[in-house]
Amino acid sequence: MGTPRDSREEQARAVVDRLEAEYPDSTISLRYSNRFELLVAVVLSAQCTDARVNSETEHLFEKYDGPEDYANVSQEELAEDLNSITYYNNKAKYIRNAAAKILEEHDGEVPDTMDELTDLPGVGRKTANVVLQHGHDVVEGIVVDTHVQRLSRRLGLTEETRPERIEEDLMEIVPDGYWQQFTHLCIDHGRAVCTARSPDCTDCVLADICPSERGDSEVDLASGEPW
């Protein structure tokens, strides 16, 4: 990391303060009514918009009541129910297998530890962090989605490209009381202003402290996400 940690800590605090003022009601946008529905929604949200996921789960959660229903439905039927979601065949398989494992090893309850969650099919650290934070009120990391990845690099908070390494950098400089909220703030700002392809730098509350310039694509190209 080329930038000293003290400088990155100061930058992170400024980013959090400004975005919190800009988006005071920032929170998770996925809709769910219990921990298993949250798990399903987060698995479905990989490379898919939350709006699309919410549209699909509105019907999905009426048809399937819990892990037993998902474990017992056929792969073909569940995939058909998810066919407007990206990678629906793989996600159907992950959800069915995760449901079966939760029934067999966790008495039908979504586990509450990082190790147990990431042991479920289709569940990585990002998904596990969301489930822990919003399902169990346990915050032990920072959810690094595409918005967090893009903004944290553009803002000079990390030079890493892998989500796990980005999370490690952010956990060193973002105050731990803001680990959960940091993700939601980045998501809101990433959707409204600091978009992947056409960021509105002229109307950005972070413009004067952002080291990235529009048109200088090196930061985004390194993470596979061009301006």
Quote the CA–CA distance of 107 and 153 in Å, as a whole number: 41
Euclidean distance between CA atoms 79 and 177, whole angstroms = 39
Reported as a pLDDT band with limits 50, 70 and 90, residue 5 is confident
**Token pair for 152:** 């944290």
Judge whether residue 14 has pLDDT over 50. Answer: yes
Check which CATH number belongs to the domain holding 78 and give it: 1.10.340.30
Q: Annotated binding residue at 186?
A: no
Instruction: Select from 135, 164, 185 the last residue of a domain.
Output: 135
183 contacts 170 by C-beta, under 8 angstroms: no
How many Å apart are CA 64 and CA 20, to the nearest integer?
37
CA atoms within 13 A on the CB side of 210: 23
Band of pLDDT at residue 220, cut at 50, 70 and 90: low
What integer pLDDT is reported at residue 224 of this predicted model? Answer: 52
**Tally of domains in the chain:** 2
Assess whether pLDDT exceeds 60 at residue 191: yes
Residue 168 CA from chain centroid, whole number:
15
Tens digit of pLDDT for each residue in 56-72? Answer: 999 999 999 999 999 99
C-alpha distances in Å from residue 123, one per residue of 18, 20, 77, 137, 205: 32, 29, 22, 18, 34
The C-alpha atoms of residue 185 and residue 163 are separated, in whole angstroms, by: 17
Using one digit for the tens of pLDDT, what is the confidence trace for 107-141? 999 999 999 999 999 999 999 999 999 999 999 99
pLDDT of residue 213: 65
Which CATH number covers residue 197? 1.10.1670.10
pLDDT digit string, tens, across residues 143-177: 999 999 999 999 999 999 999 999 999 999 999 99
Among the residue ranges 29-33, 110-114, 119-123, 212-216, the one predicted with the least confidence is: 212-216
Structural domain ending residue among the three candidates 135, 170, 200:
135
For residue 165, tell me if it sits in a domain.
yes
Catalytic residue among 145, 169, 188, 220: 145
pLDDT band at 3 (very low <50, low <70, confident <90, very high): confident
Query: Looking at the structure, do residues 125 and 179 belong to the same domain, yes or no?
Result: no
Asked if residue 48 belongs to a known ligand binding site, the reply is no
Tell me what pLDDT residue 193 has.
Answer: 97
Name residues whose C-beta falls within 8 Å of residue 164's C-beta, 6 or more positions apart in sequence. Answer: 125, 144
Evaluate if residue 227 carries a pLDDT over 70. Answer: no
Q: Which of 218, 170, 220 is nearest to 195 (CA)?
A: 220
Task: Say whether both 102 and 48 belong to one domain.
Answer: yes
The distance between the two most distant Cα atoms of the chain, rounded to a whole number of Å, is 54
Of 14, 57, 17, 51, nearest in space to 34 by CA: 57
1 — pLDDT class (breaks 50, 70, 90):
very low
pLDDT tops 70 at residue 104: yes
d(CA 7, CA 157): 9
- Residue 24 carries which DSSP code? T
Give yes or no: 145 in active site.
Answer: yes
Confidence of residue 6 (pLDDT cuts 50, 70, 90): confident
Instruction: Out of 91, 126, 188, 220, pick the active-site residue.
Output: 126
Residue 110 lies in a domain: yes
Domain match, 108 and 131 both: yes
Host domain of residue 197: 5-25+142-220
Would you tell me how many other CB atoms lie within 10 Å of the CB of residue 58?
10
Averaged pLDDT score across all residues of the chain: 93
Radius of gyration of the chain from Cα atoms?
18
pTM for this structure? 0.90
Residues 20 and 39 placed together within one structural domain of the fold: no
